[in-house]
Every structure is written in structure tokens, then in C-alpha cells.
Amino acid sequence: MTLSFSGIAVSSGIAIGEALTLRRDTIDVSPRELDKKETTAEVRRLKRALKTARTQLLSVRDNIPKDAPADVSAFIETHILMLDDTLFIGRPVEIIKSERINAEAALQRQKEELSRAFDAMEDRYLATRIDDVNHVIDSVMQALGTSEEQGSDSATGIGGDHWSGRIVVSDDLTPADTIAMQHHGVAGFVTESGGPLSHTAILARSLGIPAIVGVHGARRYIKAGEILAVDGRSGIVLAEATDSTLADFREAQKRQRQETRELKKLIDTDTVTADGVAISLMANIDIEEDLKSLKRVNADGVGLYRTEFLYLNRDTTPDEAEHLRVYQRVLRALKGAPLTIRTVDLGADKMVPSHIASNKGSDRNPALGRRGIRLCLSEPEELFLPQLRAIFRASSKGPIRILLPMLTSADEARQCMTLIDQVRTQLREDGVDFDESVPVGGMIEVPAAAIVAEHLAAELDFLSIGTNDLIQYTLAIDRVDDQVNYLYDPLNPAVLSLIHNSIDAGRKASVPVSLCGEMAGDVRYVRLLLGLGLTELSMPPNLLLQVKEILISSRRSKLKRQAMAFLSAATREERERLLDRINS
């Protein structure tokens, strides 16, 4: 009998194969008392496990395909850096020595302490970050029961030819698991937990592995060896499907491969709608290596360069010279294409360096505390001015724009412009070559900014809508929390009203408005955004060609009327019907 399961589709694609249920060895984490001599030996045992876990992660990193997107290796590097962090690895050693308990119990104690700390914060990437911590601690726990001679696959439990073509069913998967699965030819995976912004989900999309998460109870009902059909577009998993259903899935697989080949033909095609409206398709990047992905799809430039990675996993803040070197390298790689640099958006999920956080104490609620431009304005000498000077100095090497995160009022924008004018004056006095007319824009990512967008447009050169935060702050939900993520709705009338108000404010002030949130790369919303008046979108590079295909076959003149009708729709059902009509 066919069983059907529904979860969260996080990586599109269709997979058919035998189920391979992944069950982690149960680790006994109950405390065991040690005498003084045993305590010393237990610390040595923990340190060997830390070394083994690190070696295993290095082996996983070495197996990453050379043409894989940069974020694939970035996640593994993050885990390796955690294992190099003296504060992170020092805490369980301290617990073993002070409480004279075994390493497993000490690691479990550390995990619980960190979980409580993360639970006290409210922000959209919270679950993702605690997942990182848990994955690293779990890899050390696994290594405690593993000899070093067992090799790299012991960290993931994945390896060997018998994994090829299978669909993994597990409670959860680490980034290392995901990379190992791709290396060994796994066809897809289904997990009981996880969300669309988890690192495992992001890696699955980057590596092209069909994946569905949040399928509660999957391992209870799916047996090893059963034939599964996974649709990573709809979030549907079928177990023991009929022959006719499997034939339909195989036909869909064939169509998808053909669609991918057709999309590649659009790489050098200009993005112009059927009624002649030119659209700019930009890319979001986090680190320099992301530029490789941007080149593969011939993006028009970088619409969002998140600079937080320059600040993370270090004890000092990057100085002006370091910023300048990085920005100049990125501009050289872009060869004249524009670069939009978002000034550092630390706070919330992206921890503030301890030497800065200690100046003012810790935020009780980081998502609503000193984040983004608030932090920069409170620490201008340490954070804001060195970055601004570097951006202006780099502007002599190519077109560059400054984007200010988390603005809530025109007063904040004016404060920023005062500091920017101060930097311009200093550079002139120093005889430094720079572009006097570097555009300065603001992020629209909290409801306050969208409501006063007209005031912000009067102060700035452009606006950029960040829908990820805008939706969550508007609806007061964390989209990675599977208890409330069903409420995450880009079509909510309040959200659409704020987006439309921001676009309208830019139009009235003759100020360009772009959109760089996840909505920009979601094929369901592309035509709606075009109808609302957007002509610049920025997205992950791997989504750009799909969006281009939709845009060049669309007529904005027709979509404008439909989009206006959409804004007045009273019910969710009506909005879904209108969206289907727009996309038909």
C-alpha cells in the first residue's frame, strides 16, 4: 500500500530509490564519577576525540567538488573553526576537571548551556546557529567512541558504494553528512526535523540534492529497502508507490533535466520582458568565492554583499586595510559590474565580537537590540568608519554602492549621512582618490522603515527591500521554528502592503528600489513582484536563470493590473487563486 508523507520542500528535484534509514548510535551521556587520576585520562580522551572530529571534517572538506558553490566549504570551515576555538573546546575540559565527570556528560552539559543561551534569543537564524553547535558537539561525541583508524566516514556514518542511488531517511543531517552523501552519490534525503534556512537545507540546494525536511515520524513508518519517490518541489514523499506513479515521477525527472539544459541557453540573453521592460538581475554573495557562481550565470552585478563573514570567528575586528584589500579584489573580479556592499549587520544571529559586546553588556533580546546600523552608530570608530573609508577608497577601482542595514527612521539615515560626509571630507584632505558620488541606500527590512519609506527615499539614493526580515518582523514569527513557520506568508496583506508602499515611495522620489530577500528568487512570486513595479532583483546565483526565464516571457503592463487586484484580495484563498492566475 502506498504511503504519502508531507514535509517542507527545501531543495527542488525528483529522486527515486531505495530507502536507507540512518540511525545514529545511541550515546550514553549520563554522568559517571571519576577519581583524580581518571580525570586526567578523561581530558586526554576528550582531546583525542576533538582531534579525530577535526580530522574527519578536514577529510569531508577535501571531498567537496571543485565546482561546488563557495557556501558548501564555508559551512564545513565554520565547524572546523569551532573545533579550533579555545573557548568552545575549553568548556568541556573545565567541566571534566571541576566536576570530575566523563567527557560525554561534560559535552552534554555544554550543549545544554549553549541551548539555553540560544533559546533566550529571538531571531530568524537562531535554530540554524544552535544546529551548528549541536552538530559539532555530536561529532565529538561520536569520535569519543571511534578509534582514529576508522577513517573519515565514521564521522558521518555515510560511505561506500551501497549508498549510491539511495534516499537517506534520518532524524537530522549535519552539513558534513550532506557533503558526504553528495560525494557517495545519494539520490536524495528526507529528515524528520529541520527547516528551509538550516545549513543542511542550504547545502542540499547548492549541491543539487532533492531534499524534504520536517517529515515527522518518517523513520517510524518507512522501512529500509522500500522504494521511495521524493518530490523536492512539493514536499511530497511516497513509499511503495505503484508502477504507474513511479513512471510519472521518472517522466518528471526527464523533463527537469531537459529544463536545466534549456535554462543554460539563457546565460547570455538580456533580461527584457515581452513588452520591452529591462530588468536587472543581481546576485547575493557572502564571501569572495561566491563570485564563481555569479559568473556561471552572468549576473548583472552584486546586489547584496553581506560583509559579516569578515568579522566572524576572530577576536579582533578587521581594519580599514583588510576591508580595502577584500573590496578591491571583488571589484577586479566583477570587471566593471556594480558592487553593493551592505555595511556590517552584526547582532542577532551574527555574534558581536566579545571585545565590542563587553563595552555595553549583552543584549537581552539581540533580534530587537543593538543590531545592524544601531550597533554601527554606537561603535562608529570601531565598526563603521573604518568600513566606510575602505568602501570609498575602493570606489576608485569600480562602481560601488553602500547599503545601510536595519534602518527604522530618517533620523538614523541622516546620522549615517553625517558620518559618510565626514569620511568624504577626511579623504579629500588626505588626498585620497575616490568616487565622490558613491550611492548610499537603505534596507527596508522592518515595518517602521517600510511605513516611512517616503522619508527614507528623501534622504538616500536607493532602497533595497529585505523580505526575509520584513516578513518575520511584520508577522512576529521565526520561520525556522516548525511550530509557527506555517504562518510565514509572503502573501500576507500586511507584508504586501509594506512592499508596495516601499516601491511607491521610491517611484514618487525617483529613487531606485530593489528587492534582495528570498522572495526575489522564488519563481512563484517573480511575476507578482514585476507587477508591483520592481525592476531590480537580487538573489542567490543558482536561482537567477529560472527567474530570467519567467521575466522574459512576461508582460509588465498586464501584470500591473493583476498585482493591484492582488493587494485588495480579502482572503488567503482569493490571493492563492490570483497568484495561480498571474502565473498561468
CB proximity list for 156: less than 8 A, separation 6 or greater: 56, 60, 174, 176, 177, 180
Q: Which residue, among 303, 301, 305, 299, has the nearest Cα to 271 in the 3D structure?
A: 299
Q: Pick the catalytic residue from 135, 199, 323, 376.
A: 199
Rg of the chain (C-alpha set): 25
Spatial separation of the C-alpha atoms in residues 39 and 487, rounded to whole Å: 49
| Contact in structure between 237 and 219 (CB atoms under 8 Å) | no
Q: Which residue, among 50, 163, 118, has the nearest Cα to 365 in the 3D structure?
A: 118
Amino acid at residue number 158: I
Task: Output the CA–CA distances (angstroms, integers) from residue 343 to 98, 368, 519, 557, in the order listed.
Answer: 43, 18, 22, 36
Torsion of CA 355, 361, 364, 370, to 10 degrees: -60
Spatial separation of the C-alpha atoms in residues 459 and 435, rounded to whole Å: 19
Spatial separation of the C-alpha atoms in residues 334 and 398, rounded to whole Å: 9
- Residue burial 277-292, b: 16+ Cβ < 10 Å; e: rest: eebbbbbbbbbeebbe
Q: Phi/psi class of residue 194: alpha, beta or left (left: φ > 0; alpha: ψ in -120 to 50)?
A: left
Element of type H or E holding 339: strand 339-342
Amino acid at residue number 435: D
Task: Output the CA–CA distances (angstroms, integers) from residue 33 to 24, 105, 106, 166, 457, in the order listed.
Answer: 26, 10, 11, 43, 64
Q: Is 208 helix (H, G, I), strand (E, B) or coil?
A: coil
Q: Is 101 helix (H, G, I), strand (E, B) or coil?
A: strand
Q: Pick the catalytic residue from 79, 135, 323, 516.
A: 516
Q: Which residue, among 308, 441, 330, 469, has the nearest Cα to 387 in the 3D structure?
A: 308
Spatial separation of the C-alpha atoms in residues 257 and 276, rounded to whole Å: 30
Could you give the count of Cα atoms lying within 13 Å of 482 in the half-sphere of its Cβ? Answer: 16
* Grid coordinates belonging to 363: 543584549
Active site residue 516: yes
Determine the distance from the C-alpha atom of residue 208 to the mean position of all C-alpha atoms in its chain, rounded to a whole number: 16
| Contact in structure between 263 and 549 (CB atoms under 8 Å) | yes
Spatial separation of the C-alpha atoms in residues 348 and 356, rounded to whole Å: 14
Q: Partners of 444 in the beta sheet?
A: 465
Spatial separation of the C-alpha atoms in residues 438 and 393, rounded to whole Å: 11
Q: Partners of 536 in the beta sheet?
A: 280
Matching residue, cell 527612521? 409
| Per-position DSSP letters for 221-257, written without gaps between them | HPPTT-EEEEETTTTEEEES--HHHHHHHHHHHHHHH
| Per-position DSSP letters for 436-478, written without gaps between them | TT--EEEEE-SHHHHHTHHHHHHH-SEEEE-HHHHHHHHHT--
Residues annotated as part of the active site: 199, 516
